[in-house]
C-alpha cells in the first residue's frame, strides 16, 4: 500500500507525491492530520481554518472519485502526528509514504521523528518540493551561503528554472472505480468549532477547482497589466491567489507554467514577467525561513535589531488594529484586512512600516495580528514581509526607509477611491483633502486626528537602530 500524506498541498493536480504514489506498485490511500493545537499556537485565522477544512472536503471527494480514500485524523496536538501516522501505517499495511516537504522548523522536526520511526518499521518516505518552484537549499552564493539579497537570488532562480522546470501532470493511472471519502465527518466536526461570520466566508471559495478558475481568470484578464496596475489597491489587478497558494489548493508550478505560456503573447509579456517575480519572492522567503531557524523562534533576521527597545503601547496598537490612526490609507487598509481577511500587498508594507516605525511597536505584534486575520496567513511570507518592513529582515535598503503614509496615499490612491470605500467617514472629501483630513477638521468630526506626527519619525528610527547596532557590537566585543 502507498500512502499520500497531505499537508499544505490540498490538490490533485501538479502534485508529484500523488503522481509518484500512483506510479508505484500497489494501491494508494491518503491521509490528512488536523492539528488544531498547532493552529491555536500559531494564531491561525478562523477564516484560514475554514478555507483549509472546506478545501479538504473537496479534496476528499476528488480523490474518492478516482478510487483513493482520504482519511482525516483529528490529531489535536502536533506532537501526536508521528504516533498516529505509525498506527495508520500498521493498520493499512503501508509500505511507502509520499509527501510534499514542509520547511518550518516544527514541521521539519516532526518529519525527522516520523522518518526515524518509519525507518524502524521498514517504511520508505519520499518527499517532494512542490510547495516551491526552487527547493530552498538549492541556490547558494559563491561562498556557499544562502542568498539573503533578493535581486541576486532572483537572477539565479531564473536560470535554475530555465534549466530544471517541469510540471507534474494529472496521473493517468487513477482508478476509474470510486472509493469512499472516509474523513468528511471529522472535517465537519472541526468546521463546527470554527466560527467565522458569513460576511467573510461569502467573499471566498475554497478548494482546488475555484483556485484553478481564479488562475485562469487572472491570467486572461489582468496578467498583462500586472506591472502597471499592481500597486493600486482600488483596482482589481493582482491575482488574489495567495490563500490558494498557501494552502496548496494551487501549486506554484501551475502559476509559473500559466504565466510562461501567457508570455507568448507580446502584450502580456511584461506583466507576466513581473508576476513571476512575486513567485520568486515567495520562494525567497521560504528559503530564508528554511535556512535561518532563529526566525521560527521569533527572532529577528538581523540579530542586532533584537536589541531594539520597542514601546509597548496598547492604545496605539489597538488604534492601528481598528483602523483609527488618523492616517486614511493606513486605516482603510486595516479595515480591509479585518472585513475581508486579505490586504493588498502595498498596503501590507504601508501598515507594517507604520506600526513598526511610526508607532514604534514591536513588529511581532503586527505579525501576529495579520496571522489572526489573513486567509493567506503563511509564516514565511508574513514573517519575511514584516521583517522587511520593520528593517529587521532581508531588505537591502537600510533602516531609514520610512514610507510617508500621506505620500503613499497620494501616490497609490490618488483619487481616494480606496479610502472612500473603507473609511466612509471621509467619502465626502475631495481627492486632495481625503489624504490629509486633519487640514479640514470641521468636515470630518467623526474621524480622529493623526495619533502620531510623521515629522521626526525617520530621526527617531535612525537613532534607535544606530543605538542597537552599537550595543550589539559592544556585546560582540565583550564575547570575543
Ligand X SMILES: Cc1cc2nc3c(=O)[nH]c(=O)nc-3n(C[C@H](O)[C@H](O)[C@H](O)COP(=O)(O)OP(=O)(O)OC[C@H]3O[C@@H](n4cnc5c(N)ncnc54)[C@H](O)[C@@H]3O)c2cc1C
**Per the annotation, where are the binding residues for FAD?**
226, 238-242, 275, 278-285, 376-378
Q: Which residue is nearest to ligand X (CB)?
A: 385
Q: Which is nearer to ligand X, 19 or 251 (CB)?
A: 251
Site for ligand X in 268-327 (CB under 6 A): 278-279, 281-282, 285
Catalytic status, residue 117: no
78 binds ligand X (CB under 6 A): no
Least Å distance, CB 345 to ligand X, is 3
N-to-C CA span, the chain? 56
Question: Which residue of 89, 186, 245, 429 would you call a contact of ligand X, by CB under 6 A?
Answer: 245
Active-site residue (options: 8, 106, 345, 431): 345
Residues 6 or more apart in contact with residue 72 via CB below 8 angstroms: 31, 32, 33, 34, 56, 60, 182, 183, 184, 186, 187
Q: Which is nearer to ligand X, 155 or 189 (CB)?
A: 155
C-alpha cell belonging to residue 91: 493498520
Burial 468-480 (b: 16+ CB within 10 A, else e): bbeebeeeeeeee
Tell me phi and psi for residue 194, to 5 degrees.
Answer: -100, 125
Catalytic status, residue 425: no
Q: Pattern 90-129, binding to ligand X, x per CB under 6 A?
A: ----------------------------------------
Q: Which stretch binds ligand X (CB under 6 A): 78-86, 290-298, 333-341, 382-390?
A: 382-390
Q: How far apart are CA 446 and CA 330, in angstroms?
A: 17
Site for ligand X in 223-242 (CB under 6 A): 230, 238-242
Q: Which stretch binds ligand X (CB under 6 A): 288-296, 379-387, 404-412, 426-434?
A: 379-387
Q: How far apart are CA 53 and CA 206, in angstroms?
A: 9
Distances (CA, A) of 115 to 96, 100, 267, 291: 11, 14, 49, 20
Q: Which stretch binds ligand X (CB under 6 A): 370-378, 391-399, 424-432, 458-466?
A: 370-378
374 binds ligand X (CB under 6 A): yes
Tell me phi and psi for residue 60, to 5 degrees.
Answer: -55, -45
Least Å distance, CB 440 to ligand X, is 31
Catalytic status, residue 204: no
Q: Which stretch binds ligand X (CB under 6 A): 50-58, 70-78, 369-377, 440-448?
A: 369-377
Q: Which is nearer to ligand X, 206 or 384 (CB)?
A: 384
Catalytic status, residue 388: no
11 binds ligand X (CB under 6 A): no
| Residues at the contact surface with ligand X, assessed by CB under 6 A | 230, 238-242, 245-246, 278-279, 281-282, 285, 345, 348-349, 352, 370, 374, 376-378, 381-382, 384-386, 389
Residues tagged active-site: 278, 281, 310, 345, 363, 386
Amino acid at each position: 500500500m502507498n500512502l499520500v500524506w497531505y499537508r499544505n498541498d490540498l490538490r490533485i493536480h501538479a502534485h508529484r507525491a500523488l503522481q509518484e504514489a500512483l506510479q508505484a506498485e500497489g494501491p494508494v490511500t491518503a491521509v490528512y492530520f488536523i492539528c488544531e493545537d498547532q493552529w491555536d499556537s500559531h494564531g491561525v485565522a478562523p477564516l484560514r481554518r475554514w478555507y483549509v477544512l472546506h478545501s479538504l472536503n473537496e479534496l476528499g471527494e476528488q480523490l474518492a472519485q478516482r478510487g483513493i480514500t482520504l482519511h482525516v485524523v483529528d490529531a489535536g496536538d502536533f506532537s501526536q502526528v508521528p504516533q498516529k501516522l505509525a498506527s495508520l501505517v500498521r493498520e493499512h499495511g503501508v509500505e511507502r509514504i509520499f509527501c510534499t516537504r514542509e520547511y518550518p522548523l516544527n514541521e521539519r522536526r516532526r518529519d525527522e521523528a516520523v522518518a526515524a520511526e518509519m525507518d524502524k518499521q521498514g517504511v520508505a518516505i519520499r518527499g517532494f518540493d512542490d510547495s516551491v518552484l526552487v527547493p530552498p537549499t538549492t541556490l547558494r552564493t559563491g561562498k556557499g551561503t544562502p542568498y539573503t539579497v533578493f535581486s541576486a537570488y532572483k537572477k539565479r532562480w531564473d536560470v535554475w528554472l530555465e534549466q530544471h522546470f517541469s510540471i507534474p501532470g494529472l496521473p493517468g493511472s487513477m482508478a476509474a472505480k470510486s472509493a469512499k471519502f472516509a474523513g468528511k465527518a471529522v472535517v465537519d466536526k472541526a468546521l463546527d468549532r470554527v466560527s467565522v461570520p458569513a460576511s467573510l466566508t461569502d467573499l471566498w471559495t475554497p478548494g482546488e477547482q475555484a483556485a484553478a478558475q481564479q488562475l485562469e481568470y487572472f491570467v486572461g484578464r489582468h496578467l498583462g497589466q500586472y506591472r502597471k496596475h499592481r500597486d493600486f489597491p482600488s483596482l482589481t489587478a493582482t491575482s488574489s491567489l495567495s490563500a490558494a497558494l498557501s494552502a496548496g489548493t494551487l501549486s506554484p508550478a501551475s502559476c509559473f507554467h500559466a504565466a510562461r505560456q501567457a508570455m507568448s503573447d507580446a502584450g502580456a509579456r511584461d506583466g507576466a514577467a513581473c508576476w513571476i517575480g512575486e513567485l520568486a519572492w515567495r520562494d525567497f522567503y521560504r528559503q530564508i525561513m528554511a535556512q535561518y531557524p532563529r526566525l521560527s523562534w521569533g527572532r529577528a533576521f538581523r540579530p542586532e535589531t533584537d536589541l531594539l527597545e520597542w514601546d509597548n503601547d496598547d492604545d496605539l496598537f489597538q488604534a492601528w488594529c481598528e483602523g483609527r490612526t488618523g492616517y486614511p490609507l493606513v486605516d482603510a487598509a486595516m479595515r480591509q484586512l479585518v472585513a475581508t481577511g486579505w490586504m493588498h500587498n502595498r498596503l501590507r508594507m504601508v501598515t507594517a512600516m507604520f506600526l513598526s516605525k511610526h508607532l514604534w511597536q514591536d513588529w511581532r505584534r503586527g505579525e501576529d495580528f495579520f496571522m489572526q486575520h489573513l486567509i493567506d496567513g503563511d509564516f514565511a511570507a508574513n514573517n519575511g514581509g514584516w521583517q522587511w518592513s520593520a528593517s529587521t529582515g532581508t531588505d537591502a535598503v537600510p533602516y531609514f526607509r520610512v514610507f510617508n503614509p500621506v505620500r503613499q496615499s497620494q501616490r497609490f490612491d490618488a483619487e481616494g477611491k480606496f479610502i472612500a470605500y473603507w473609511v466612509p467617514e471621509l467619502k465626502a472629501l475631495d481627492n486632495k483633502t481625503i489624504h490629509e483630513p486633519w487640514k479640514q477638521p470641521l468636515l470630518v468630526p467623526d474621524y480622529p486626528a493623526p495619533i502620531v506626527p510623521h515629522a521626526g519619525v525617520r530621526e527617531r528610527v535612525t537613532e534607535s537602530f544606530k543605538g542597537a547596532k552599537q550595543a550589539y557590537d559592544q556585546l560582540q566585543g565583550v564575547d570575543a
